[in-house]
Structures are given as structure tokens and as C-alpha cells.
Chains A and B, each alone.
Chain A
């Protein structure tokens, strides 16, 4: 199973989180873990629950049409078999807590017909959103792992629709301005993201 690690800070200490392809069972577990947060009124939590549920439904819909995958190997196989196909997949970010993996976020992606990666949903888990500053660098870490995935598949571009809420985040992450309703991550941005992620292990940040 192919996993894409990234560094985050949990309560001040550097830890490794993993981004991996979600299968039916993992999505179900993620879905169940949202239940305690479903009635919260905090906008970000409400949206995280809604987006995650909708993303899972969309993935299942595409899965029934055989247009979604559950693993890196399956994705590579589908691309080889039908190079112009559109393939959907969900990546789940987890951190190790004791003997189990705790889901902390997800990304819904599509490999487009021209071998680009479209990022449709990017949402942290409500348990992270309700404890700000407990875990740092999850959002940017997930994007870093998507860059790793793109490199592994030789995908030259990651793109997505930006909104009024997400545009400033992408401006900072990609070090470009202005980001309007479209963000594009190509080689220079991938380098910037990777460079920043490598700094997490630098002695200055490890306290």
C-alpha cells in the first residue's frame, strides 16, 4: 500500500502524518467518526461534515460506474489501461495514536483525462478544527503529499477551483498573487511546497 508521509506539529512536537488512498471501509470509519460533530453550529465544522459526506457520496457514485479507485496500484493500472480516463479517489490523512490511526483530514481528487490532478474537496476533520493550534500544518501537509503523489505518477499539474475562502490560503501556500477562482500547482510551486515541508525537520523548529 502506497502512503505519502508529511510532517506536522502536534502540541509543539513534530510528528509524521500519512496520506493514503481510502477504500470503502476507511470511508465508512471516517463517516462514523463525524457523528459526534454533526450537530455543532461552528461553520467550519458544519461545512467539514457536509463536504466529507458529500465527497463520500460522490465517490461511491463514481465507484459504481467503475470510475473511482481505492489504491495507488489500481489508479496506475487504470491509467495504463485507459490513458484518457477520468478517475476519482479520496485520500485520507491519519496520525498514529497508540495502536490505531486517527483520521484527521481528507482530499477528494480526480485524475483528469489529460493526466492532471484536480483537487475538488480538501477538508480537515472536525476534531482538528475544534482544537485550533493543537495540530499545525495539516492542510499544507496534505497538499504536500498530493505533490508527492503527482511526482510518483509524473503528473505535471495540480489544479482546482478556488473560492473566496480558499484563495488566500493558496496564495500563501503557493507564494503567488493574486489567486482568483483557479489555482495551479506546477513545478515552481511544487518546489516551494517541498522546500517548506523539509524545513519542518530543521533543528530550529524542533523544540
Chain B
């Protein structure tokens, strides 16, 4: 049996979005945290964009390499290959 949707929200979103000031964090505490949690951060959108750029560059490089290695044939050579000449 389907449950009726509750009209009352159990989470106060406005309250949860409020950022509160915490007690001062000492230098030692911050450095200890940094030592155990490596500072290597990337914004997800920036990371996605950077990966896309890297893929684009890689794609261009592959196309360039392929076009360099590509052999071209004259019409006569093609006809010979096909046994038409």
C-alpha cells in the first residue's frame, strides 16, 4: 500500500545551510591535521574540464601521428592493386 507523502519536512534545510563559526583552531592542530590528511585537492568541475582538455590534446596528437604515417596511392597504383591495369 502506498504511503501518503508527509506534508512536514523532517530536515530544516535553511538551518543546515547556515555556516557557524567554530572555536579557533590552533596552528599545531591544523598542522597535525595537514600531516595526516594530504593537501591534494581539485574542484570537481575544474578537474572534469582539465580531463576533457587533456583528452582533446591527446586526440589531436593521435590524429597528427596517424596522418603522418598514412600512405597515399595514385589511381594507377590502385588500379594495379585491383588487377584492373
Q: Is A bound to B?
A: yes
Residues on A lying within 8 angstroms of B by beta carbon are 9, 44, 47-48, 51, 53-55, 57-58, 61, 105, 108, 118-124, 129, 132-133, 136-140, 142, 160-161, 163, 165-166, 168-169, 171-173, 175-179, 188, 192, 196, 199-200, 205
Instruction: Please classify the interface of chain B as helix (H, G, I), strand (E, B), loop, or mixed, using the class held by over half of its residues.
Output: helix
CB of A142 to closest CB in B, whole Å: 8
Whether A140 pairs with B30 at a CB distance below 8 angstroms is yes
Whether A120 pairs with B27 at a CB distance below 8 angstroms is no
Whether B21 pairs with A124 at a CB distance below 8 angstroms is no
Residues on B lying within 8 angstroms of A by beta carbon are 16, 19-27, 29-31, 33-47, 49-51, 53-54, 57
Residues of chain A with a CB closer than 8 A to B42's CB: 47, 51, 54-55, 120-123, 163
Whether A165 pairs with B20 at a CB distance below 8 angstroms is no
Residues of chain B with a CB closer than 8 A to A176's CB: 19-22
Residues of chain A with a CB closer than 8 A to B39's CB: 105, 122-124, 138-139, 142, 169
Q: What is the bound-complex CA distance between A61 and B21, given in angstroms?
A: 39
Q: What is the bound-complex CA distance between A142 and B41, given in angstroms?
A: 13
